[in-house]
Chains A and B, each alone.
Chain A
Amino acid sequence: MSDAAATLAQDRQKLEMSALSAPAVIFTVAMIAFPVVYTVWLGFQNFSSTGKQSFAGLANYSRLISDYEFWHGLWVTIALYVLSLVLQLVFGVWLALVLFHAKRLPGIVRSLFISPFMMPPVVAGMMWLVILDPSLGAANYMLQSFGLPPSDWLASPSLVIPTVALIDSWQWTPYVALIVLGGLQSLPPSVYEAAQIDGASPFKTFQRITLPLLLPTIVTAAILRSVDLLRFFDIIYITTQGGPGNASNTLNIYGFRVGFEFFNIGYASALMLTLTAIVFGAVLAFNRLRGAVAW
């Protein structure tokens, strides 16, 4: 077969393969694109309380600027995000180190520690709602049995964000630990041997070798958790519904209520697209950071 004929046959094969995969590709793109395009379109619509629809232009977006609940929701979202992410990264790395060095029954220890994130968030929320109930819950019972004063936990405007952050961290720290554990297992043993020969202490080894080498893995974990944390919904919806008052009213909870309880789908779409832009921004920032710390 001449070269020209071979090239022609290869081109035809590529064309056939493209044609065969086209339906699946078109279907997948449509499934992703349609909801996004539809939401963008809804963001330009005005829905009255009676569901009547009209073109609103940028009115939904300009309303965001003067909407106190939006700015409050943004603040709550960011506060919850930062607090939860810091807790999960710090304790996730610590847990990964514990699991990495576990010598006895490592399989059982790992299964036990990672079990919380296997639990559906709704179940976790219900469980913690019972535990943290100020009257009937086990948490206050334990505090009081140690002579400490009881706490209002989820019912206190000043404690609700740290409490929700703790619940989420209880559930998702093992997930971060699992990612970091994978990173730990892939670190080259030679650098540790060199550090041992040089007489480095365990703390110095962690500070100067383990942590810098783990940074790309930690940033990856941060990206994955950021996407979830900025869209925080289920545990808050189960435990506080945004309360007390609006102390835990994240943007996602606020958008849900505007859309499905007050039926203003247009404004809810604008809120959700703004939240999506924030999530994208956070992911892009972490992606750049990952590039900077790669080795």
Chain B
Amino acid sequence: MKARMLATQVALPMLAIAAVSAQAHAADFDWMKFKGKTVTFLANNNPVAQALLTYKADFEKLTGMTLKVDGYQEQQMRQRLVTVMNANSDEVDVFMTLPSREGEQFAAAGWYGDLTAIVKNEVAKEYDPAGLSQALLKAATFGGKLTSMPMNIEGPIFYYRTDIFKKCGIEAPKTIKEVEAAAAKIKTCDSAVTPFVSRGLKPAIAYTFSNMLHNIGGTYIASGKSNLCSAKGKEALDTYSRLLRDFGPPGVVNYSFQQISALYRSGRAAMAFESSNELRTVMEGGARLKDTGLLPFPAGEAGQVPTTIGWGMAVSSHSKQPEAAWYFVQWATSPEVQKKMALQGIAPPRPSVAKDPEYRKWIDEEPVRKEWQAALDVLATKGSSEVGYPIVANPESREFIGQAVQDLILKQKPIEQACADADKALDALIAQK
């Protein structure tokens, strides 16, 4: 595990830095090169794309191109993409993608255009690809090919109510065990609030569960086999499900980010483990602005290994104008645009933007924003992008992780059976070519 983390956090990013740093900025780079062309962008209607598309007119003015936006909710966007790509259609030039989820699958299917060369040869002077998060660039590299450029950085973080902690005489937890102890104390101290909430909806569980598994020291795969029934795997399954069963809200098995944010924002949860992206939603109305503390998820026996992912922009391998499409990707992931998006609460995947004075001023306006940025800094430096199994069938693997956790929350199976059933199904997925 340590060797793997070292490779993930140090060696491979260094290689990626070397690769993208070797770029030769085209001296004659001209934003107007593809003037008159139309680029079609398949977008997920999430806050990241919404913030980006605020500046759509700027792109069209800068390049003389027309940006046609085909926007859907996340799953519907994938549905559209599957249809388009299976038909080898050039209808989509650029699409949003989550490398941690579908990266292996889309790369193996050949849906991503290879950006490795273009990111070196066809860039504006101010683009600075080496300034992008190397962890995210590495996470978007499959078989040596760079497949997408990061739009944001995000991951699950720990939200807690400072006022409730103070009332119950509890310190901010530093370990997972302290989270459980704090939940038990809050349950007796303030019965009106839900002590702890995290994702319980089957397909959504892997996002938060992976952080706990890695913190505890577990791995999804060992010696080519699914590893949920290992001692660490069972400890993670047991701890995560116990926290939700004993201290979570009723009906937590249907909880994803919407329900968690709503519960926490309404003041009815003392601790929530949810995406850093939800800060804006959680703070809507301002009720939680002064009584919320933020941390990366507390450490387990293996320390803190937060989950760090980001949305990426990929050029379709079927696009008939990949260079024009790249110009859009380049503009959207440029320091200037990412700074504007950061000021709208989209965590920047560029450390330079995170240090920008204007952005720092925005961060310094509220203590909670400072804690948010501090948590994101930990995510950026220590994060693992492994959400679910690192295999081609990653989306399907999340189902079985979720099923095992739900079986335990609902007490439908003992842990030995829950993990064994999951391992059996996951071994079959791992064996798939």
Whether the Cβ atoms of A49 and B105 lie closer than 8 Å is yes
A–B Cβ pairs within 8 angstroms, 22 of them: A50-B392, A51-B108, A51-B109, A51-B110, A51-B111, A134-B249, A135-B250, A136-B263, A136-B268, A153-B251, A155-B251, A241-B203, A243-B254, A243-B406, A244-B202, A245-B202, A245-B410, A260-B75, A260-B78, A261-B75, A261-B78, A262-B393
A50 contacts B108, C-beta separation under 8 Å: yes
Q: Which residues of A contact B (CB under 8 A)?
A: 48-52, 133-136, 140, 150, 152-155, 157, 239-246, 257, 259-263, 265
Give CA–CA (A48, B110) in the complex, Å: 13
Smallest Cβ-Cβ distance to A129: which chain B residue:
B254
Q: Is B202 within 8 A of A155, CB to CB?
A: no
Q: Are B86 and A240 in contact (CB under 8 A)?
A: no
Contact: B202 with A241, CB < 8 Å? yes
| Partner of A263 from B82, B250, B406 at Cβ < 8 Å | B82
Question: Is chain A's binding surface mostly helix, strand, loop or mixed?
Answer: loop
Q: A9 to nearest B CB, angstroms?
A: 49
A49 interface neighbour in B82, B202, B392, Cβ under 8 Å: B392
A131 to chain B, nearest CB (A): 12
Chain B, interface size category, equals 35 or more
Q: With contacts A155-B251, A260-B78 known, what are 12 further pairs, Cβ within 8 A?
A: A49-B108, A51-B85, A51-B109, A51-B110, A51-B111, A134-B249, A134-B251, A152-B251, A244-B406, A245-B406, A260-B75, A265-B82
A-chain residues with CB within 8 Å of residue B259 when the two chains form the complex: 133
Contacts of A240 in B (CB 8 A): 254
**Contact across chains for A245 and B407 when beta carbons are under 8 A apart:** yes
A155 and B407 contacting across the interface, CB-CB below 8 Å? no
Q: Across the interface, do A265 and B393 meet the contact criterion of CB distance under 8 Å?
A: no
Q: Which residues of A contact B194 (CB under 8 A)?
A: 135
Nearest to A246 among chain B residues (CB) is B403
B15 at the interface (CB under 8 A from A): no
Set of chain A residues within 8 Å of B167, measured between Cβ atoms? none
- A48 proximity list for chain B (CB < 8 A): 432-433
Q: Which residues of B contact A (CB under 8 A)?
A: 75, 78-79, 82, 85-86, 105, 108-111, 194, 201-203, 249-254, 259, 262-263, 266, 268, 392-393, 395-396, 399, 403, 406-407, 410, 412, 432-433
Residues of B within 8 A of A241 (CB): 201-203
Q: How far is the CA of A156 from the CA of B208 in the complex (A)?
A: 22
B44 to chain A, nearest CB (A): 14
Q: Which of A49, A140, A245 contacts B393 (CB 8 A)?
A: A49
In the complex, the answer to whether A155 meets B412 with C-beta atoms within 8 Å is no
Residue in chain A with minimal CB distance to B413: A245
Determine whether the beta carbon of A150 is less than 8 Å from that of B203.
Answer: no
Q: Which residues of B contact A244 (CB under 8 A)?
A: 202, 253-254, 406, 410
> Contact partner of A155 among B79, B108, B252, CB < 8 A?
B252
Instruction: Tell me if A260 and B82 are in contact (CB < 8 A).
Output: yes
What separation, in Å, do the CA atoms of A275 and B302 have in the docked complex?
48
Contact B403 A50 (CB under 8 A): no
Distance in Å: Cβ of A45 to nearest Cβ of chain B: 11
Asked, given contacts A49-B393, A261-B78, A261-B395, whether A154 binds B254 with beta carbons under 8 Å apart, the answer is yes
> Nearest-CB distance from B241 to chain A (Å)?
13
CA separation between A262 and B75, bound complex, in Å? 12
Closest A residue to B391 by beta carbon equals A49
Contact A245 B403 (CB under 8 A): yes
CA distance A50 to B75 in the complex (A): 18
A151 to chain B, nearest CB (A): 9
Docked-complex contact B254 and A263, CB < 8 angstroms: no
